[in-house]
Structure formats: structure tokens, C-alpha cells
């Protein structure tokens, strides 16, 4: 669960997944069931266009088949299935996902530029997958090529994964900032979500999309506008104009009262999100009986006792979100106005 922020609906999406219709291990209906179980709002089954290791067992000349089956399973469940495919080429072109396409078959071509230009004709939102993947970049650092720079200039590349599977790449975030690319987080799941994520005590990486309404059209507009935050367990990555309001909404102030006969303000905070949140005190006031760095577990409460030295009518609770990044190595500061009763 992640709350809405002022002016927007928060859409929980995993927009990079695979099934047996490329190199995954499950049927498309399983992906739908997993998403419903985790209360996601949108998914995309982005099968590899060029890489089809199961084609002898599951021949399918129609590259849209996975999407069709997922749509049939999701009918009447309120889960948005975004039509997508993965353009799969060797370096320096790499892998990219095209979302909101109308026909995946037309993206097949020997010329590596054609899938991108054809996806653009279909109005697709295209993002660069796992740019730090060691099979694409042996150093583990993403290297943006002339091909990708050309695609950005041509309006054929709009986003970049900063979180893929278990990996968060600060270098990918730097590229996103330099080239104004939408920040994405995805599971890139091939096996079962349960086995890879849930049984290990966490959840899959997702992209939170801040849209005007919960619809594919509004979601598409938000992705093109860069209105996202990538989330993986307690890690949050996004632009400050969306990340700070999100973190503010994740923490609810239940009460703020002075302890009788003291100048110590007792504050109860509640984390209403599905992620553990790690904070550092940035106020001029220190805590009583608590270190300056503390955690509020997901769906749990925490008590702060703030030594204000004298009773205040209003105090700004200022915390650095240590698990969140608005730039490489940069944590956002979040504030809540407290009015002691």
C-alpha cells in the first residue's frame, strides 16, 4: 500500500515481466494472479521480441499472444494490463521496453532502429532496461551509447530503470537526471514472485506512477511526464517534487502532546505504507530516549520524545529520509507541522 499524494492518484505498477511466451517460466494468467494478490494496479508482460527460447514447445507467431491471455484473465478484476514488448539486442543497443503499443509484431525488424521508430508511431512509452547489467556493461556501470543518445533526441527513449530486480544503480539515476528520463523500478521477473521476493521477506520492485486518475491513458501521460518514484522494499528513488510528498503521506501524525510537567513533546507517528522507513533527525532539538537515526516499520507506529527546552505552540518535525534518494547520494528532507494539544 502506498498513499495518494496531493493532486494525484498513486498507481502501483510492475512494467517489466516475462512468461513462457519468451524466457519466463509461468503462464500469463499466473502473472495476473500474482499482481492481484499483491494489490498492484497495473502490469505489463514485456516478452522479448527477438529472444524466444521456448518457441519449439510453444510456437506463437503472434507476439501479442501473452498480452491477449493476460487481458482475458484480468477481465473484471480492475487490473490494468499494459501492452508491451522488450526490444532485445546486444550492446551497445541493449534492451528496452516499449509500453502502450498496439501491435508487437510490427516491431520485429533486422534494422535495430526500426523497432524504436515503429513503437513511436504507435505512441509507445519506451524505457531502457537494466543499463548496469554486467552482460551489457562488464564494469557494472551503465554506459550510454550514441545509439541511445540518438533515440532520446528522436523522441524514442523516455525512461530508464534505476532499479531492476535486486540492483539499484546510482549511475542510472545520474543518467536519468542528465537526460530528463523517467525513473523506473521493475522486477524483471522470470520465475515466481513468491520464490524470488515474497518468501525472502520483501516485495518486488515497482514503479509508483502519479496520475490524475486510475486509467491507462492517465498513467501513460504521467509516465511521459516523469511523474514516478521507484520503490524496492525500503528503497525509494525519485524526483523531489514527487518523492517528498509521497514520504510525507506515508507517515501519519497520530498525536503530539507534552508529557505532563515537562518540556518533552511526545509524538506518535504511524507508517501507513508497505515499506520500512529509515529517518535521521534534522531538527535543532534532540530526542529523549531515542537515537537520531530510527526506523518506522511498515504498518507500524513509533514514538518520538522531542526535547524542545520550552513549550512550543508549533514545531516543524524535520527528518532526513535515509532510505530515499533524489540524486546519487542525496537524501530528501521531509517536514511535518506539529501543533501540540
Task: Report if pTM > 0.95.
Answer: yes
**Beta bridge pairs of residue 335:** 318
Looking at residue 136, which CATH number applies to its domain? Answer: 3.20.20.140
Say whether both 192 and 113 belong to one domain: yes
Q: Residue 239 domain-assigned?
A: no
Q: Indicate whether 323 and 187 sit together in one domain.
A: no
16/164 Cα distance (integer angstroms): 9
Residue 91 has pLDDT above 90, yes or no: no
Indicate the number of domains in the chain. Answer: 2
Considering the domain architecture, whether residues 276 and 328 belong to the same structural domain is answered as yes
Residue 268 included in any domain = yes
Q: What is the pLDDT of residues 121-177, one digit of tens each?
A: 999 999 999 998 887 878 888 989 999 999 999 999 999 999 999 999 999 999 999
Q: Identify whether residues 161 and 17 lie together within a single domain.
A: yes
Same domain? For 195 and 257 the reply is no
In this structure, the answer to whether residues 157 and 264 fall within a common structural domain is no
Contacts of residue 42, Cβ cutoff 8 Å, sequence gap at least 6? 11, 12, 13, 14, 15, 79, 80, 81, 82, 209, 216, 219
In a domain, 2, yes or no: no
Range of the domain at 261: 246-338
DSSP 3-state of 241? helix
Residue 147 lies in a domain: yes
112 and 27 inside one domain: yes
CA 5 to chain centre: 15
Task: Output the CA–CA distances (angstroms, integers) from residue 118 to 24, 145, 223, in the order listed.
Answer: 25, 20, 19
Asked if residue 58 and residue 104 are part of one domain, the reply reads yes
Query: Could you read off the pLDDT of 209-267 as tens digits, one per residue?
Result: 999 999 999 999 999 999 999 999 999 999 999 999 999 999 999 999 999 999 999 99
Instruction: Say whether both 91 and 175 belong to one domain.
Output: yes
Let me know if residue 201 belongs to a domain: yes
Amino acid at each position: 500500500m502506498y498513499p495518494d499524494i496531493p493532486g494525484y492518484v498513486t498507481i502501483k505498477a510492475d512494467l517489466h515481466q516475462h512468461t513462457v511466451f519468451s524466457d519466463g517460466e509461468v503462464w500469463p494468467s499466473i502473472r495476473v494472479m500474482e499482481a492481484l494478490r499483491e494489490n498492484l494496479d497495473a502490469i505489463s508482460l514485456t516478452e522479448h521480441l527477438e529472444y524466444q527460447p521456448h518457441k519449439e514447445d510453444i510456437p506463437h507467431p503472434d507476439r501479442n499472444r501473452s498480452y491477449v491471455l493476460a487481458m482475458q484473465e484480468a477481465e473484471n478484476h480492475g487490473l490494468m494490463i499494459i501492452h508491451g514488448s522488450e526490444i532485445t539486442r546486444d550492446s551497445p543497443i541493449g534492451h528496452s521496453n516499449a509500453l502502450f503499443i498496439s501491435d508487437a509484431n510490427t516491431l520485429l525488424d533486422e534494422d535495430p532502429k526500426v523497432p524504436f521508430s515503429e513503437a513511436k508511431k504507435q505512441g509507445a512509452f519506451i524505457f531502457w532496461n537494466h543499463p548496469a547489467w554486467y552482460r551489457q556493461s562488464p564494469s557494472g556501470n551503465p554506459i550510454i551509447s550514441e545509439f541511445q543518445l540518438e533515440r532520446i533526441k528522436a523522441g524514442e527513449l523516455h525512461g530508464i530503470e534505476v532499479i531492476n530486480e535486486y540492483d539499484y544503480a546510482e549511475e542510472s539515476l545520474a543518467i536519468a537526471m542528465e537526460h530528463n528520463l523517467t525513473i523506473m523500478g521493475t522486477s524483471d521477473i522470470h520465475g515466481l514472485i513468491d520464490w524470488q521476493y515474497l518468501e525472502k521477506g520483501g516485495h518486488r520492485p515497482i514503479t509508483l506512477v502519479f496520475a490524475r486518475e486510475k486509467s491507462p491513458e492517465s498513467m501513460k501521460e504521467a509516465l511521459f511526464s516523469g511523474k514516478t518514484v521507484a520503490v524496492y522494499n525500503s528503497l525509494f528513488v525519485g524526483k523531489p517534487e514527487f518523492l517528498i510528498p509521497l514520504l510525507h503521506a506515508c507517515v501519519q501524525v497520530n498525536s503530539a502532546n507534552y508529557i505532563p510537567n515537562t518540556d518533552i513533546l511526545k509524538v506518535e507517528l504511524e507508517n501507513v505504507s508497505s515499506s520500512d522507513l529509515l529517518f535521521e533527525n534534522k531538527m535543532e532539538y534532540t530526542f529523549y530516549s531515542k537515537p537520531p537515526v530510527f526506523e518506522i516499520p511498515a504498518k507500524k507506529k513509533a514514538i518520538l520524545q522531542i526535547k524542545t527546552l520550552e513549550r512550543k505552540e508549533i514545531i516543524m518535525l524535520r527528518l532526513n529520509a535515509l532510505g530515499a534518494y533524489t540524486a546519487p547520494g542525496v537524501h530528501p528532507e521531509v517536514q511535518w507541522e506539529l501543533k501540540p494539544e
